[in-house]
Chain A
Amino acid sequence: MSGLAYTRFELVRTFRNRRFYIFSIGIPILLYWVIAAPQHNKIITGTAFTYGIYYMVSLASFGTMMSMLSTGARIAGERQVGWTRQLRISPLSVRAYFRAKILTAYAMALLSLCLLYISGAILGASLPAERWLEMTGLIVIALVPLAALGILVGHLITTDSAGPAMGGLVTFLALLGGTYFPITGGVLHTIGQLLPSWWLVQAGHIALHGRGWPVRGWITVLAWTAILATGAGWAYRRDTTKV
Protein backbone atom coordinates (compact mmCIF):
# COMPACT_ATOMS: atom_id res chain seq x y z
CA MET A 1 0.00 0.00 0.00
CA SER A 2 2.64 2.43 1.12
CA GLY A 3 4.88 1.95 -1.89
CA LEU A 4 2.31 3.25 -4.34
CA ALA A 5 1.61 6.29 -2.23
CA TYR A 6 5.28 7.08 -2.43
CA THR A 7 5.32 6.66 -6.20
CA ARG A 8 2.41 9.06 -6.54
CA PHE A 9 4.16 11.51 -4.26
CA GLU A 10 7.31 11.34 -6.39
CA LEU A 11 5.35 11.89 -9.57
CA VAL A 12 3.57 14.94 -8.21
CA ARG A 13 6.80 16.37 -6.93
CA THR A 14 8.73 15.78 -10.13
CA PHE A 15 6.10 17.21 -12.41
CA ARG A 16 5.98 20.35 -10.32
CA ASN A 17 9.61 21.09 -10.88
CA ARG A 18 10.06 23.41 -13.82
CA ARG A 19 13.76 22.77 -14.24
CA PHE A 20 13.16 19.18 -15.15
CA TYR A 21 10.60 20.06 -17.76
CA ILE A 22 13.15 22.27 -19.38
CA PHE A 23 15.97 19.75 -19.36
CA SER A 24 14.25 16.48 -19.92
CA ILE A 25 11.41 17.56 -22.12
CA GLY A 26 11.93 21.09 -23.35
CA ILE A 27 15.38 20.68 -24.86
CA PRO A 28 14.67 17.64 -27.08
CA ILE A 29 11.45 19.18 -28.36
CA LEU A 30 13.06 22.52 -28.97
CA LEU A 31 15.97 20.92 -30.81
CA TYR A 32 13.56 18.98 -32.93
CA TRP A 33 11.61 22.02 -34.00
CA VAL A 34 14.74 24.05 -34.64
CA ILE A 35 16.40 21.36 -36.75
CA ALA A 36 13.50 19.71 -38.47
CA ALA A 37 10.76 22.30 -38.90
CA PRO A 38 12.37 24.53 -41.55
CA GLN A 39 12.97 21.60 -43.87
CA HIS A 40 10.74 18.86 -42.58
CA ASN A 41 9.75 17.52 -45.99
CA LYS A 42 13.23 17.61 -47.45
CA ILE A 43 15.02 14.32 -47.93
CA ILE A 44 18.35 14.06 -46.12
CA THR A 45 21.02 13.56 -48.77
CA GLY A 46 22.17 9.96 -49.11
CA THR A 47 19.15 8.57 -47.22
CA ALA A 48 15.54 7.88 -47.98
CA PHE A 49 14.26 9.90 -45.02
CA THR A 50 12.91 13.36 -44.49
CA TYR A 51 14.33 15.65 -41.82
CA GLY A 52 10.98 15.41 -40.09
CA ILE A 53 11.17 11.70 -39.45
CA TYR A 54 14.91 11.24 -39.11
CA TYR A 55 15.25 13.78 -36.32
CA MET A 56 12.10 12.68 -34.58
CA VAL A 57 13.67 9.27 -34.21
CA SER A 58 17.08 10.58 -33.19
CA LEU A 59 15.72 12.95 -30.59
CA ALA A 60 13.42 10.26 -29.23
CA SER A 61 16.47 8.35 -28.03
CA PHE A 62 18.17 11.50 -26.82
CA GLY A 63 15.13 12.85 -24.98
CA THR A 64 14.22 9.62 -23.27
CA MET A 65 17.81 9.11 -22.19
CA MET A 66 17.84 12.60 -20.67
CA SER A 67 14.69 11.76 -18.74
CA MET A 68 16.21 8.59 -17.33
CA LEU A 69 19.43 10.24 -16.28
CA SER A 70 17.70 13.27 -14.79
CA THR A 71 16.68 10.91 -11.96
CA GLY A 72 20.31 11.08 -10.95
CA ALA A 73 20.26 14.84 -10.48
CA ARG A 74 17.06 14.59 -8.46
CA ILE A 75 18.49 11.88 -6.22
CA ALA A 76 21.67 13.89 -5.68
CA GLY A 77 19.51 16.79 -4.50
CA GLU A 78 17.52 14.59 -2.15
CA ARG A 79 20.68 13.15 -0.67
CA GLN A 80 22.09 16.59 -0.13
CA VAL A 81 19.16 17.65 2.04
CA GLY A 82 19.27 14.38 3.98
CA TRP A 83 15.99 13.09 2.61
CA THR A 84 17.43 9.75 1.55
CA ARG A 85 18.52 9.02 5.10
CA GLN A 86 15.16 10.14 6.44
CA LEU A 87 13.45 7.64 4.14
CA ARG A 88 15.88 4.94 5.16
CA ILE A 89 14.65 5.19 8.75
CA SER A 90 11.04 4.78 7.61
CA PRO A 91 9.49 1.43 6.73
CA LEU A 92 9.54 2.31 3.01
CA SER A 93 11.18 -0.71 1.39
CA VAL A 94 14.16 -0.37 -0.88
CA ARG A 95 12.05 -1.95 -3.59
CA ALA A 96 9.29 0.65 -3.24
CA TYR A 97 11.90 3.39 -3.33
CA PHE A 98 13.41 2.08 -6.57
CA ARG A 99 9.99 1.53 -8.07
CA ALA A 100 9.05 5.15 -7.42
CA LYS A 101 12.27 6.39 -8.99
CA ILE A 102 11.93 4.16 -12.04
CA LEU A 103 8.26 4.89 -12.67
CA THR A 104 8.83 8.61 -12.34
CA ALA A 105 11.69 8.48 -14.84
CA TYR A 106 9.52 6.48 -17.24
CA ALA A 107 6.62 8.90 -16.88
CA MET A 108 8.93 11.67 -17.88
CA ALA A 109 10.45 9.70 -20.76
CA LEU A 110 7.03 8.76 -22.11
CA LEU A 111 5.86 12.34 -21.94
CA SER A 112 8.93 13.41 -23.85
CA LEU A 113 8.34 10.65 -26.40
CA CYS A 114 4.67 11.57 -26.87
CA LEU A 115 5.49 15.20 -27.45
CA LEU A 116 8.09 14.24 -30.04
CA TYR A 117 5.67 11.92 -31.80
CA ILE A 118 3.04 14.63 -31.88
CA SER A 119 5.57 17.13 -33.18
CA GLY A 120 6.65 14.57 -35.77
CA ALA A 121 3.09 13.98 -36.87
CA ILE A 122 2.56 17.72 -37.20
CA LEU A 123 5.66 17.91 -39.38
CA GLY A 124 4.38 15.13 -41.60
CA ALA A 125 6.37 12.15 -40.31
CA SER A 126 4.17 9.22 -41.13
CA LEU A 127 4.82 5.57 -40.35
CA PRO A 128 2.84 2.34 -40.33
CA ALA A 129 1.21 1.86 -36.92
CA GLU A 130 3.07 -1.36 -36.13
CA ARG A 131 6.40 0.45 -36.65
CA TRP A 132 5.44 3.12 -34.13
CA LEU A 133 4.47 0.43 -31.68
CA GLU A 134 7.53 -1.71 -32.16
CA MET A 135 9.79 1.29 -31.90
CA THR A 136 8.10 2.48 -28.73
CA GLY A 137 8.23 -0.99 -27.18
CA LEU A 138 11.93 -1.42 -27.83
CA ILE A 139 12.71 2.10 -26.60
CA VAL A 140 10.92 1.29 -23.36
CA ILE A 141 13.02 -1.86 -22.96
CA ALA A 142 16.26 -0.12 -23.89
CA LEU A 143 15.59 2.44 -21.18
CA VAL A 144 15.66 -0.14 -18.38
CA PRO A 145 19.46 -0.14 -17.95
CA LEU A 146 19.46 3.66 -18.25
CA ALA A 147 16.91 3.92 -15.43
CA ALA A 148 19.31 1.92 -13.26
CA LEU A 149 22.19 4.10 -14.43
CA GLY A 150 20.29 7.23 -13.34
CA ILE A 151 19.82 5.82 -9.84
CA LEU A 152 23.42 4.59 -9.65
CA VAL A 153 24.84 7.95 -10.66
CA GLY A 154 22.46 9.80 -8.34
CA HIS A 155 23.83 7.92 -5.36
CA LEU A 156 27.45 8.50 -6.35
CA ILE A 157 27.62 12.16 -7.29
CA THR A 158 27.08 15.32 -5.25
CA THR A 159 24.82 18.18 -6.32
CA ASP A 160 27.89 20.21 -7.24
CA SER A 161 29.10 17.60 -9.66
CA ALA A 162 25.64 16.70 -10.94
CA GLY A 163 25.69 19.16 -13.84
CA PRO A 164 29.04 18.19 -15.36
CA ALA A 165 28.60 14.49 -14.54
CA MET A 166 25.20 14.30 -16.19
CA GLY A 167 26.25 16.42 -19.15
CA GLY A 168 29.35 14.31 -19.69
CA LEU A 169 27.47 11.05 -19.38
CA VAL A 170 24.70 12.06 -21.76
CA THR A 171 27.18 13.35 -24.31
CA PHE A 172 29.30 10.21 -24.08
CA LEU A 173 26.36 7.83 -24.36
CA ALA A 174 24.63 9.82 -27.08
CA LEU A 175 27.77 10.33 -29.13
CA LEU A 176 28.99 6.74 -29.07
CA GLY A 177 25.45 5.44 -29.25
CA GLY A 178 25.09 7.14 -32.61
CA THR A 179 22.46 9.69 -31.63
CA TYR A 180 24.09 12.72 -33.17
CA PHE A 181 25.36 11.11 -36.36
CA PRO A 182 25.44 7.56 -37.65
CA ILE A 183 28.53 5.52 -36.78
CA THR A 184 28.98 2.95 -39.49
CA GLY A 185 32.35 1.34 -38.95
CA GLY A 186 35.70 1.23 -37.18
CA VAL A 187 36.61 1.18 -33.52
CA LEU A 188 33.80 3.55 -32.54
CA HIS A 189 31.33 1.17 -34.10
CA THR A 190 32.70 -1.73 -32.08
CA ILE A 191 32.70 0.28 -28.85
CA GLY A 192 29.32 1.83 -29.55
CA GLN A 193 27.68 -1.53 -29.91
CA LEU A 194 28.73 -2.39 -26.37
CA LEU A 195 26.72 0.50 -24.94
CA PRO A 196 23.06 0.43 -23.94
CA SER A 197 22.49 3.76 -25.68
CA TRP A 198 23.47 2.20 -29.02
CA TRP A 199 20.53 -0.12 -28.81
CA LEU A 200 18.25 2.69 -27.74
CA VAL A 201 19.17 4.49 -30.93
CA GLN A 202 18.73 1.27 -32.90
CA ALA A 203 15.28 0.89 -31.36
CA GLY A 204 14.41 4.26 -32.82
CA HIS A 205 15.82 3.26 -36.18
CA ILE A 206 13.24 0.55 -36.48
CA ALA A 207 11.01 3.32 -37.66
CA LEU A 208 13.45 3.94 -40.46
CA HIS A 209 14.70 0.52 -41.44
CA GLY A 210 12.16 -1.80 -39.90
CA ARG A 211 14.82 -3.99 -38.32
CA GLY A 212 14.57 -5.02 -34.66
CA TRP A 213 17.49 -5.89 -32.42
CA PRO A 214 19.72 -8.84 -33.25
CA VAL A 215 20.43 -11.27 -30.38
CA ARG A 216 23.52 -9.27 -29.59
CA GLY A 217 21.36 -6.22 -28.86
CA TRP A 218 19.17 -8.11 -26.42
CA ILE A 219 22.20 -9.55 -24.65
CA THR A 220 23.86 -6.16 -24.36
CA VAL A 221 20.74 -4.54 -22.90
CA LEU A 222 20.20 -7.44 -20.53
CA ALA A 223 23.82 -7.46 -19.37
CA TRP A 224 23.82 -3.73 -18.71
CA THR A 225 20.55 -4.03 -16.83
CA ALA A 226 22.08 -6.65 -14.54
CA ILE A 227 25.29 -4.70 -14.00
CA LEU A 228 23.71 -1.31 -13.47
CA ALA A 229 20.86 -2.57 -11.28
CA THR A 230 23.39 -4.31 -9.03
CA GLY A 231 25.45 -1.13 -9.00
CA ALA A 232 22.41 0.98 -8.13
CA GLY A 233 21.54 -1.32 -5.20
CA TRP A 234 25.10 -1.18 -3.96
CA ALA A 235 25.32 2.61 -4.29
CA TYR A 236 22.04 3.06 -2.43
CA ARG A 237 23.15 0.91 0.47
CA ARG A 238 26.58 2.51 0.59
CA ASP A 239 24.92 5.88 0.64
CA THR A 240 22.53 5.17 3.49
CA THR A 241 24.85 3.10 5.65
CA LYS A 242 28.12 4.46 6.86
CA VAL A 243 30.23 1.33 6.88
Chain B
Amino acid sequence: MTAQAPAQTDGGIRLNGLIKTFRGPHGPIHAVRGIDVSIAAGETAALLGPNGAGKSTTIDMMLGLSKPDGGTVTVFGRPPREAVDAGLIGAMLQSGALIRDVSVRELVTMMASLYPDPMDVDEALEVTGLKAMASQRTQKLSGGETQRARFALAIVSNPELLVLDEPTVAMDVEGRREFWSIMRAFAARGRTVLFATHYLEEADANADRAILMAHGRVVADGPTTEIKARVGRRTLRATLEDVDPSTLACLPGVASAERHGDAVILSCTDSDQAIRALLERYPAARDIEITGGSLEEAFLELTGEPDDEVSELVAP
Protein backbone atom coordinates (compact mmCIF):
# COMPACT_ATOMS: atom_id res chain seq x y z
CA MET B 1 0.00 0.00 0.00
CA THR B 2 2.60 2.52 1.04
CA ALA B 3 4.62 1.73 -2.05
CA GLN B 4 1.79 2.54 -4.43
CA ALA B 5 0.41 5.39 -2.39
CA PRO B 6 2.26 8.24 -4.11
CA ALA B 7 1.04 7.28 -7.57
CA GLN B 8 -2.47 6.61 -6.32
CA THR B 9 -2.81 9.97 -4.69
CA ASP B 10 -1.20 12.01 -7.43
CA GLY B 11 -2.83 15.35 -7.97
CA GLY B 12 -4.67 15.59 -4.66
CA ILE B 13 -8.18 16.97 -4.86
CA ARG B 14 -9.11 19.64 -7.35
CA LEU B 15 -12.33 21.57 -7.57
CA ASN B 16 -12.43 23.83 -10.60
CA GLY B 17 -15.17 26.39 -11.10
CA LEU B 18 -17.65 24.16 -9.32
CA ILE B 19 -21.28 25.26 -9.60
CA LYS B 20 -24.47 23.69 -8.27
CA THR B 21 -27.92 25.15 -8.51
CA PHE B 22 -31.03 23.53 -7.07
CA ARG B 23 -34.56 24.19 -8.15
CA GLY B 24 -36.44 25.65 -5.23
CA PRO B 25 -40.13 26.49 -4.89
CA HIS B 26 -39.30 30.19 -5.26
CA GLY B 27 -36.76 29.96 -8.05
CA PRO B 28 -33.24 28.66 -8.29
CA ILE B 29 -31.11 28.12 -5.18
CA HIS B 30 -27.48 28.85 -5.93
CA ALA B 31 -25.97 26.45 -3.43
CA VAL B 32 -22.44 26.55 -4.88
CA ARG B 33 -21.47 29.47 -7.09
CA GLY B 34 -18.09 28.73 -8.53
CA ILE B 35 -15.50 27.19 -6.26
CA ASP B 36 -11.82 26.72 -7.02
CA VAL B 37 -9.92 24.76 -4.41
CA SER B 38 -7.08 22.34 -4.53
CA ILE B 39 -6.06 20.22 -1.62
CA ALA B 40 -2.71 18.46 -1.70
CA ALA B 41 -2.42 14.82 -0.75
CA GLY B 42 -1.68 14.55 2.96
CA GLU B 43 -3.27 17.85 3.86
CA THR B 44 -5.92 18.22 6.59
CA ALA B 45 -8.34 20.90 5.53
CA ALA B 46 -11.48 22.26 7.16
CA LEU B 47 -14.40 23.45 5.11
CA LEU B 48 -15.67 26.10 7.43
CA GLY B 49 -18.91 27.99 7.08
CA PRO B 50 -22.31 28.66 8.58
CA ASN B 51 -25.35 26.51 7.80
CA GLY B 52 -26.43 26.85 4.21
CA ALA B 53 -22.98 27.94 3.02
CA GLY B 54 -22.82 25.07 0.53
CA LYS B 55 -20.40 22.77 2.36
CA SER B 56 -22.46 19.61 2.06
CA THR B 57 -23.33 20.35 -1.54
CA THR B 58 -19.63 20.70 -2.32
CA ILE B 59 -18.84 17.45 -0.50
CA ASP B 60 -21.63 15.60 -2.33
CA MET B 61 -20.06 16.62 -5.64
CA MET B 62 -16.61 15.53 -4.45
CA LEU B 63 -18.01 12.12 -3.60
CA GLY B 64 -19.86 11.73 -6.87
CA LEU B 65 -23.22 11.77 -5.09
CA SER B 66 -24.25 14.83 -7.01
CA LYS B 67 -23.45 16.09 -10.48
CA PRO B 68 -22.03 19.62 -10.79
CA ASP B 69 -23.94 22.04 -13.03
CA GLY B 70 -20.61 23.55 -13.97
CA GLY B 71 -16.93 22.93 -13.36
CA THR B 72 -15.09 19.75 -12.53
CA VAL B 73 -13.94 17.68 -9.58
CA THR B 74 -11.02 15.32 -9.59
CA VAL B 75 -9.93 13.17 -6.68
CA PHE B 76 -6.35 11.96 -7.04
CA GLY B 77 -6.55 12.71 -10.73
CA ARG B 78 -9.76 10.77 -11.33
CA PRO B 79 -13.44 11.57 -11.49
CA PRO B 80 -15.06 11.03 -8.08
CA ARG B 81 -16.92 7.85 -9.04
CA GLU B 82 -13.70 6.20 -10.16
CA ALA B 83 -11.97 7.17 -6.94
CA VAL B 84 -14.93 5.75 -5.00
CA ASP B 85 -14.89 2.52 -6.99
CA ALA B 86 -11.16 2.19 -6.40
CA GLY B 87 -11.85 2.38 -2.67
CA LEU B 88 -9.80 5.55 -2.19
CA ILE B 89 -12.46 7.49 -0.31
CA GLY B 90 -14.02 6.96 3.09
CA ALA B 91 -16.73 9.34 4.15
CA MET B 92 -19.08 10.20 6.93
CA LEU B 93 -22.02 12.08 5.46
CA GLN B 94 -23.78 14.80 7.35
CA SER B 95 -27.06 13.08 7.93
CA GLY B 96 -27.61 9.43 8.46
CA ALA B 97 -28.20 6.70 10.98
CA LEU B 98 -27.30 3.03 10.82
CA ILE B 99 -29.30 0.18 9.42
CA ARG B 100 -30.79 -2.05 12.07
CA ASP B 101 -30.72 -5.73 12.93
CA VAL B 102 -26.95 -6.13 12.73
CA SER B 103 -24.25 -5.88 15.34
CA VAL B 104 -21.67 -3.13 15.22
CA ARG B 105 -19.01 -5.68 14.36
CA GLU B 106 -21.05 -7.26 11.58
CA LEU B 107 -21.67 -3.85 10.06
CA VAL B 108 -18.04 -2.76 10.18
CA THR B 109 -16.85 -6.16 8.91
CA MET B 110 -19.22 -5.98 5.96
CA MET B 111 -18.04 -2.50 5.08
CA ALA B 112 -14.40 -3.58 5.31
CA SER B 113 -15.09 -6.48 2.94
CA LEU B 114 -16.05 -4.02 0.19
CA TYR B 115 -12.60 -2.41 0.06
CA PRO B 116 -9.37 -3.62 -1.49
CA ASP B 117 -7.09 -2.73 1.41
CA PRO B 118 -9.17 -2.32 4.57
CA MET B 119 -8.05 -1.68 8.10
CA ASP B 120 -8.28 -4.57 10.52
CA VAL B 121 -11.84 -4.62 11.89
CA ASP B 122 -10.66 -4.99 15.49
CA GLU B 123 -8.35 -2.05 15.03
CA ALA B 124 -11.17 0.09 13.64
CA LEU B 125 -13.41 -0.85 16.57
CA GLU B 126 -10.58 -0.27 19.00
CA VAL B 127 -9.61 3.21 17.82
CA THR B 128 -13.21 4.37 17.67
CA GLY B 129 -13.82 3.07 21.18
CA LEU B 130 -16.48 0.61 20.07
CA LYS B 131 -14.77 -2.55 21.27
CA ALA B 132 -17.03 -2.86 24.31
CA MET B 133 -20.21 -2.65 22.24
CA ALA B 134 -19.06 -4.59 19.20
CA SER B 135 -21.76 -7.21 19.62
CA GLN B 136 -24.54 -4.70 20.30
CA ARG B 137 -27.26 -4.31 17.71
CA THR B 138 -26.97 -0.97 15.95
CA GLN B 139 -30.47 0.13 16.97
CA LYS B 140 -29.40 0.01 20.64
CA LEU B 141 -26.59 2.58 20.32
CA SER B 142 -26.82 6.09 21.72
CA GLY B 143 -26.50 9.12 19.47
CA GLY B 144 -22.81 9.56 20.20
CA GLU B 145 -22.09 5.84 19.77
CA THR B 146 -23.93 5.87 16.45
CA GLN B 147 -21.69 8.68 15.27
CA ARG B 148 -18.64 6.69 16.34
CA ALA B 149 -19.90 3.64 14.48
CA ARG B 150 -20.41 5.79 11.39
CA PHE B 151 -16.85 7.02 11.84
CA ALA B 152 -15.66 3.41 12.10
CA LEU B 153 -17.43 2.70 8.79
CA ALA B 154 -15.57 5.59 7.20
CA ILE B 155 -12.08 4.69 8.42
CA VAL B 156 -12.26 0.89 8.22
CA SER B 157 -11.87 1.33 4.47
CA ASN B 158 -8.40 2.68 5.21
CA PRO B 159 -8.99 5.46 2.69
CA GLU B 160 -6.49 7.83 1.09
CA LEU B 161 -9.07 10.57 1.44
CA LEU B 162 -11.28 10.83 4.50
CA VAL B 163 -14.26 13.16 4.20
CA LEU B 164 -16.25 14.12 7.29
CA ASP B 165 -19.33 16.31 7.06
CA GLU B 166 -20.03 17.92 10.45
CA PRO B 167 -19.09 14.70 12.22
CA THR B 168 -19.35 15.80 15.84
CA VAL B 169 -22.88 17.16 15.80
CA ALA B 170 -24.46 14.51 18.04
CA MET B 171 -21.48 14.19 20.41
CA ASP B 172 -20.86 15.54 23.87
CA VAL B 173 -17.72 17.45 24.78
CA GLU B 174 -15.73 14.39 25.77
CA GLY B 175 -16.88 12.54 22.67
CA ARG B 176 -15.75 15.39 20.46
CA ARG B 177 -12.35 15.53 22.04
CA GLU B 178 -11.84 11.79 21.48
CA PHE B 179 -13.20 11.97 17.98
CA TRP B 180 -10.77 14.64 16.88
CA SER B 181 -7.81 12.91 18.43
CA ILE B 182 -8.63 9.77 16.42
CA MET B 183 -9.02 11.88 13.31
CA ARG B 184 -5.65 13.53 13.87
CA ALA B 185 -3.99 10.17 14.42
CA PHE B 186 -5.44 9.01 11.13
CA ALA B 187 -4.29 12.15 9.34
CA ALA B 188 -0.82 11.60 10.79
CA ARG B 189 -0.56 8.46 8.65
CA GLY B 190 -0.16 10.83 5.73
CA ARG B 191 -3.76 10.63 4.62
CA THR B 192 -5.76 13.48 3.19
CA VAL B 193 -8.62 14.67 5.37
CA LEU B 194 -11.35 17.16 4.59
CA PHE B 195 -13.96 17.96 7.18
CA ALA B 196 -16.85 20.37 7.21
CA THR B 197 -17.73 22.27 10.33
CA HIS B 198 -19.37 25.46 11.44
CA TYR B 199 -17.19 25.74 14.53
CA LEU B 200 -14.14 27.89 14.11
CA GLU B 201 -12.56 26.20 17.15
CA GLU B 202 -12.83 22.78 15.53
CA ALA B 203 -11.19 23.98 12.37
CA ASP B 204 -8.51 25.78 14.31
CA ALA B 205 -7.67 22.84 16.55
CA ASN B 206 -7.76 20.08 13.96
CA ALA B 207 -6.86 21.38 10.52
CA ASP B 208 -3.79 22.91 8.93
CA ARG B 209 -5.90 24.90 6.63
CA ALA B 210 -9.36 26.40 6.64
CA ILE B 211 -11.44 27.05 3.56
CA LEU B 212 -14.14 29.50 4.48
CA MET B 213 -17.38 29.25 2.60
CA ALA B 214 -20.37 31.53 2.67
CA HIS B 215 -23.29 31.77 0.27
CA GLY B 216 -21.82 29.20 -2.05
CA ARG B 217 -18.45 30.89 -2.43
CA VAL B 218 -15.04 30.53 -0.91
CA VAL B 219 -14.50 33.79 0.96
CA ALA B 220 -11.12 33.02 2.47
CA ASP B 221 -8.66 30.19 2.32
CA GLY B 222 -5.45 29.84 4.25
CA PRO B 223 -3.66 28.45 7.29
CA THR B 224 -6.05 28.18 10.23
CA THR B 225 -4.01 30.59 12.31
CA GLU B 226 -4.50 33.31 9.71
CA ILE B 227 -8.18 32.57 9.31
CA LYS B 228 -8.66 32.64 13.02
CA ALA B 229 -7.02 36.00 13.30
CA ARG B 230 -9.29 37.29 10.58
CA VAL B 231 -12.66 36.05 11.76
CA GLY B 232 -12.20 34.89 15.30
CA ARG B 233 -12.15 38.23 17.07
CA ARG B 234 -14.49 39.09 19.86
CA THR B 235 -15.10 42.48 21.30
CA LEU B 236 -14.77 42.96 25.04
CA ARG B 237 -16.33 46.10 26.49
CA ALA B 238 -15.80 47.18 30.09
CA THR B 239 -16.05 50.22 32.25
CA LEU B 240 -12.57 50.99 33.51
CA GLU B 241 -11.21 54.42 34.27
CA ASP B 242 -7.64 55.68 34.26
CA VAL B 243 -5.93 52.95 32.29
CA ASP B 244 -4.15 53.74 29.09
CA PRO B 245 -5.48 51.78 26.05
CA SER B 246 -1.96 51.07 24.86
CA THR B 247 -1.32 49.20 28.13
CA LEU B 248 -4.52 47.23 27.65
CA ALA B 249 -3.51 46.30 24.12
CA CYS B 250 -0.55 44.42 25.58
CA LEU B 251 -2.75 42.06 27.62
CA PRO B 252 -2.66 38.43 26.49
CA GLY B 253 -5.39 37.66 23.97
CA VAL B 254 -5.95 41.31 23.10
CA ALA B 255 -5.14 42.60 19.63
CA SER B 256 -6.05 46.26 20.01
CA ALA B 257 -7.77 48.56 22.46
CA GLU B 258 -9.48 51.92 22.41
CA ARG B 259 -11.18 54.17 24.90
CA HIS B 260 -14.57 55.88 24.71
CA GLY B 261 -14.99 57.98 27.82
CA ASP B 262 -15.09 55.62 30.81
CA ALA B 263 -15.45 52.58 28.60
CA VAL B 264 -12.68 50.58 27.03
CA ILE B 265 -13.18 48.41 23.96
CA LEU B 266 -10.77 45.55 23.43
CA SER B 267 -10.60 43.58 20.21
CA CYS B 268 -9.62 40.06 21.30
CA THR B 269 -8.02 37.17 19.51
CA ASP B 270 -8.75 35.09 22.61
CA SER B 271 -11.45 36.62 24.78
CA ASP B 272 -11.11 33.97 27.51
CA GLN B 273 -7.48 34.81 28.09
CA ALA B 274 -8.19 38.51 27.77
CA ILE B 275 -10.93 38.61 30.41
CA ARG B 276 -8.85 36.64 32.90
CA ALA B 277 -5.89 38.91 32.45
CA LEU B 278 -8.05 42.01 32.60
CA LEU B 279 -9.74 41.07 35.88
CA GLU B 280 -6.54 39.90 37.44
CA ARG B 281 -4.74 43.15 36.77
CA TYR B 282 -7.65 45.55 36.95
CA PRO B 283 -10.20 44.27 39.47
CA ALA B 284 -12.03 47.56 39.08
CA ALA B 285 -13.16 46.61 35.58
CA ARG B 286 -16.98 46.16 35.50
CA ASP B 287 -20.06 46.10 33.25
CA ILE B 288 -18.19 43.59 31.13
CA GLU B 289 -19.70 42.49 27.86
CA ILE B 290 -18.23 40.14 25.28
CA THR B 291 -19.78 40.13 21.84
CA GLY B 292 -19.15 38.81 18.38
CA GLY B 293 -16.90 35.97 17.53
CA SER B 294 -19.69 33.98 15.99
CA LEU B 295 -18.78 32.69 12.64
CA GLU B 296 -22.05 33.90 11.21
CA GLU B 297 -21.24 37.47 12.16
CA ALA B 298 -17.75 37.24 10.79
CA PHE B 299 -19.09 35.80 7.57
CA LEU B 300 -21.73 38.46 7.30
CA GLU B 301 -18.97 41.00 7.48
CA LEU B 302 -16.86 39.16 4.97
CA THR B 303 -19.68 38.64 2.51
CA GLY B 304 -21.48 41.88 3.18
CA GLU B 305 -18.65 43.71 1.49
CA PRO B 306 -18.85 44.80 -2.13
CA ASP B 307 -17.99 42.11 -4.61
CA ASP B 308 -14.55 43.39 -5.56
CA GLU B 309 -13.47 43.32 -1.95
CA VAL B 310 -14.82 39.84 -1.46
CA SER B 311 -12.85 38.61 -4.41
CA GLU B 312 -9.82 40.28 -2.94
CA LEU B 313 -10.22 38.12 0.15
CA VAL B 314 -10.14 34.96 -1.86
CA ALA B 315 -6.70 33.51 -1.45
CA PRO B 316 -4.76 32.65 -4.60
A2 within 8 A of B: yes
The residues of B that contact A91 with a CB separation of less than 8 Å are: 84-87, 114-116
Tell yes or no: A240 within 8 A of B by CB.
Answer: yes
Q: Does A45 contact B (CB under 8 A)?
A: no
Stretch with Cβ within 8 A of B (4 or more), from A12-20, A51-59, A213-221, A223-231: A12-20
In the complex, how many angstroms separate the beta carbon of A84 from the nearest chain B beta carbon? Answer: 10
Query: In the assembled complex, which residues on chain A have CB atoms less than 8 Å from the CB atom of B114?
Result: 2, 5-6, 90-92
Q: How many A-B residue pairs have CB under 8 A?
A: 79
Contact with A along B74-86 (1 / 0, CB 8 A): 0000000000111
Given contacts A83-B96, A89-B89, A90-B84, whether A1 and B67 have CB atoms under 8 Å apart is no
A13 touches B91 (CB 8 A): no
- Is B247 an interface residue, CB under 8 A from the partner? no
Q: In whole angstroms, what is the CA distance A191 to B60 when docked?
A: 44
- A89 lies within 8 A of B65 (CB): yes
A residues near B116, Cβ cutoff 8 Å? 91
Is B121 positioned at the interface, with any CB of A under 8 Å from its CB? no
Residues of B within 8 A of A39 (CB): none
Cβ-defined contact, B115 with A241, below 8 A? no
CB contacts (< 8 Å) of A1 on chain B: these are 113
Contact B102 A9 (CB under 8 A): yes
A208 to chain B, nearest CB (A): 38
Interface residues on B, range: 20 to 34
**Which chain A residues lie closer than 8 Å to B106 at the CB level?**
9, 12
Report chain B residues within 8 Å CB of A77: 99
- Measured CB to CB, the nearest residue on chain A to B64 is A89
> In whole Å, how far is A203's beta carbon from the nearest beta carbon of chain B?
32
Q: Complex Cα distance A81/B149, Å?
A: 14
User: When the two chains form their complex, are residues A81 and B97 in contact, meaning their CB atoms are under 8 A apart?
Assistant: yes
Nearest A residue to B163 via CB reads A89
| Contact A88 to B65, CB < 8 A, known contacts A13-B99, A82-B96 | yes
Lowest 9 A-B CB distances belong to which pairs?
A82-B96, A81-B97, A5-B113, A242-B66, A16-B101, A9-B110, A2-B114, A83-B99, A13-B101
